[in-house]
Amino acid sequence: MTVGSGSCDVHHNIKPTTRRVALAQTERSVQTFPLEGAWRCCGDIEHVFTHFALTLTVWKLNANAAPSNNGWWAKKSELDGEALPTLFKKVLSAALS
């Protein structure tokens, strides 16, 4: 997921919580980001679904460029009015704090 609010982009990398998923992703140890810049780690968040737990590492980039047409974009001032899933709200909370 990449979302933006004003000059803040949020991008996450999924940290697998099961051995099977972890084994499938062992070759993906290099971080990749959708834009070049000085990305800053905002920490990990945890979310529990019905059948599994998910841990995400949230990364943040403050950018001066206008957002592309890819993804979903909203102004920071409009985020409270968006109907977002709880997981997305956790990601935004970590990125904007």
Q: Please name the residue that has the structure tokens 């609010």.
A: 5
User: Which of 43, 79, 44, 37 lies closest to 61, judged by CA?
Assistant: 37
- Give the number of domains in the chain: 1
> What pLDDT score was predicted for residue 33?
83
Q: Please name the residue that has the structure tokens 């047409």.
A: 69
Domain encompassing residue 21:
2-96
> What pLDDT score was predicted for residue 5?
41
> What pLDDT score was predicted for residue 18?
52
Spans in the chain with pLDDT lower than 70 = 1-30, 66
pTM for the whole structure: 0.62
> What pLDDT score was predicted for residue 29?
56
